[in-house]
Amino acid sequence: MGLNPQNCHQYRWRASGSEFSYLIFAAKFFLFYYGLDAVKGDEMTTQSVPHVVLGNKSNYTVAKFGGTSVANFAAMDHSSKIIVADKSVRIVALSASAGVTNHLVELCNSSLSEDERQAHINGVLAIQQAILAELSLDTDLEQGFAQTLAAFEKLASQTLQTKALHDELLSFGERLSTYLFTQVLRSKGLNAIRFDVRQVLKTDSQFGKATPNVAATAQAASALLIPLLDDQVIVTQGFIGSDEHGQTTTLGRGGSDYSAALLAEAIHAKSVHIWTDVVGIFSTDPRLCVKATPIARLSFDEAAEMATFGAKVLHPATILPASRSHINVFVGSSREPERGGTWIEREKSQLPGIRAVTQRKNQILLTLKSPEMLLASGFLARVFTILSEFNISVDLVTTSEISVAITLDNAPNASRPELDQGCLDKLAEFCHVSVENNLTLVALIGSEIQLRQHEMNLMQVLSDFNIRLICHGASKHNLCFLVEQGESDNVVQAIHSRLLESDCAA
């Protein structure tokens, strides 16, 4: 296509004969997208889109591409066509290429042997080099990429003791993928620039799971990001940010979705598009149930519950900025954008009933029993005070006259403090403590879930399994229970087959 970004001040796309397939793709994508937007009443245009704030909204879109959508050159190529076809996309928030963050997490482990360390470094380099082999980087990108790669190799070869250094190392996946993807977009004729998101995505210093500072992010975005948006596509990193001292932070595993929603909020975007490897959010993980079906529309509440209770396709915090700032969220497949996906919107779901089933493995059940609880007050307050002192976050709670059962998330990526012996000792001072591991939390998600007739079928389905705890009533959007981890895939499949395959919400 031969468009030199240095000389290109207009956001545009030029097609030659050999690029005819892009035209067809763009037309198909546009038809699909326009169809959806027509339903929603939004206006789409193929023209350059200036940053116009209508009311408190611009007409821009933030597009997030997950690790699978930038896994290799072919995936990047598919993803780039979506941006070419949708001129409202002005910020692209990228994840690290699939597999890279897992290597980086391993490299944070201080007990690695030299050979193991080198194998993980080589794993990261191999993924970058395979993509680089298909590209010729412009000088500005080439220099930055080489420096970033050298900085990665230097840091990765050391034993890193602090959480701050772990976050610095974890950030390299996104920092590298954004150089490569910027070039892929330029090769399609887009005026793309790479932007270091740490300049604007401001967080506290809770390394590993930093909390964004929304006001500081908005302020930095209006000074540094919004002025760049009129005639360029900004390629930036998901997952990472920086604290007030300029140190790199991360938002927790899978956090790029959250970054995209935060950036959309900061630039007053109308929507966030999450591009992944499935054609939307399904009635359950499609890898587990072949008959799982994509859900066309979900409310913010339903989507938040699904993400919280294990639907890996969306980071649970994504809905927070989207919901408070009225930003619609779309989830679709970067390989097959024309197949549509799931729209997550403020409107309440039209259909009461169960719409999906999710599971979250590696849960702990903590049961605290004390005869003193009988007719006594203050027991629960004492329990929760101790858990909070140890920064332990509780998921489900059920109580009986003399005991309380609590579930805690112990997933490897939960980024939460583990249940340590100090906490258990403190609880044991006034009650009998039992800890059960290897459990899975299964959640039925929907709207106005009440134990009506077809939900009662659930009890029949579950009668074949050993259920450890059931929790229902605090939210109308879920009904949760714990099962043994070894059985949980079967439980989800049985529930899906009996409750969702006949009247799965669409």
Ligand X SMILES: Nc1ncnc2c1ncn2[C@@H]1O[C@H](COP(=O)(O)OP(=O)(O)O)[C@@H](O)[C@H]1O
Give residues in contact with ligand PHD (CB under 6 A).
66-67, 95-96, 101, 173, 238-239, 253-256
**281 interface partner picked from ligand PHD, ligand X, none, CB below 5 to 8 A per type:** ligand X
Q: Which residues of 321-348 are buried (b: 16+ CB within 10 A; e: fewer)?
A: bbbebebbbbbbbbbebbebbbbbbeee
State which of residues 96, 226, 281, 383 lies at the interface with ligand X (CB under 6 A).
281
Residue 254 in the binding site for ligand X (CB under 6 A): yes
Sequence letter at residue 120? H
Is 139 annotated to bind a ligand? Reply is no
88's tokens: 């409202």
Is 287 annotated to bind a ligand? Reply is yes
Residue 174 in the binding site for ligand X (CB under 6 A): no
Question: At its nearest, how many Å lie between ligand X and the CB of residue 313?
Answer: 4
Question: At its nearest, how many Å lie between ligand X and the CB of residue 228?
Answer: 25
Alpha carbon distance 240, 234 (integer Å): 16
Residue 311 in the binding site for ligand X (CB under 6 A): yes
Sequence letter at residue 79? S
CB-nearer residue toward ligand PHD: 247 or 276: 276
163's tokens: 């959480």
Residue 177 in the binding site for ligand X (CB under 6 A): no
Sign, Cα dihedral of 136, 141, 143, 144: negative
Distances (CA, A) of 489 to 277, 287, 412, 438, 440: 21, 11, 18, 13, 9
Residue by residue, DSSP assigns 206-256 as -TTSPPB-HHHHHHHIIIIIGGG-TT-EEEEESSEEE-TTS-EEE--TTTH
**239 interface partner picked from ligand X, ligand PHD, none, CB below 5 to 8 A per type:** ligand PHD
CB-nearer residue toward ligand X: 68 or 191: 68
Is 270 annotated to bind a ligand? Reply is no
Distances (CA, A) of 201 to 95, 152, 270: 15, 21, 19
Distances (CA, A) of 308 to 108, 295, 394: 26, 17, 13
Question: At its nearest, how many Å lie between ligand X and the CB of residue 246?
Answer: 27
Is 57 annotated to bind a ligand? Reply is no
Residue 278 in the binding site for ligand X (CB under 6 A): yes
Residue 501 in the binding site for ligand X (CB under 6 A): no
What pairs with residue 294 in β-bridges? 282
DSSP-H helix ranges across 347-452: 379-389, 421-428
Residue 442 in the binding site for ligand X (CB under 6 A): no
Residue 67 in the binding site for ligand X (CB under 6 A): yes
CB-nearer residue toward ligand PHD: 330 or 481: 330
Is 312 annotated to bind a ligand? Reply is yes
Sign, Cα dihedral of 228, 25, 3, 194: positive
Question: At its nearest, how many Å lie between ligand X and the CB of residue 450?
Answer: 22
Residue 66 in the binding site for ligand X (CB under 6 A): yes
Residue 488 in the binding site for ligand X (CB under 6 A): no
Is 378 annotated to bind a ligand? Reply is no
113, burial (CB in 10 Å: exposed 0-12, middle 13-18, buried 19+):
exposed
175's tokens: 């920092």
**285 interface partner picked from ligand PHD, ligand X, none, CB below 5 to 8 A per type:** ligand X
Residue 332 in the binding site for ligand X (CB under 6 A): no
State which of residues 51, 163, 291, 312 lies at the interface with ligand X (CB under 6 A).
312
CB-nearer residue toward ligand X: 13 or 181: 181
Distances (CA, A) of 195 to 128, 181, 224, 351: 19, 12, 10, 42
Question: At its nearest, how many Å lie between ligand PHD and the CB of residue 251?
Answer: 8
Chain Cα centroid distance, residue 403 = 36
Helix, strand, or coil here: 37? helix
4 — phi, psi (to 5°)? -85, 115
Contact call for residues 407 and 396 (beta carbons, < 8 A) = yes
CB-nearer residue toward ligand X: 282 or 379: 282
State which of residues 168, 285, 305, 409 lies at the interface with ligand X (CB under 6 A).
285
Residue 287 in the binding site for ligand X (CB under 6 A): yes
Q: Give the residue nearest to ligand X (CB).
A: 66
CB-nearer residue toward ligand PHD: 95 or 308: 95
**299 interface partner picked from ligand X, ligand PHD, none, CB below 5 to 8 A per type:** none
355's tokens: 């719409």
Residue 489 in the binding site for ligand X (CB under 6 A): no
* Residue 421: partners with Cβ closer than 8 Å, 6 or more residues away: none
Segment interacting with ligand X (CB under 6 A) among 45-53, 64-72, 370-378, 392-400 = 64-72
State which of residues 58, 95, 191, 440 lies at the interface with ligand X (CB under 6 A).
95
Beta pairing class for 61-65 and 89-94 = parallel
Question: At its nearest, how many Å lie between ligand PHD and the CB of residue 195?
Answer: 17
Is 163 annotated to bind a ligand? Reply is no
State which of residues 313, 319, 365, 471 lies at the interface with ligand X (CB under 6 A).
313
User: Can you say which residues are annotated as belonging to the binding site?
Assistant: 64-67, 101, 174, 276-277, 287, 312-313
Per CB under 6 A, residues contacting ligand X are 66-69, 95, 98, 254, 276-278, 281-282, 284-287, 311-313, 356
Binding-site positions for substrate read 101, 174
Annotated binding site for ATP: 64-67, 276-277, 287, 312-313
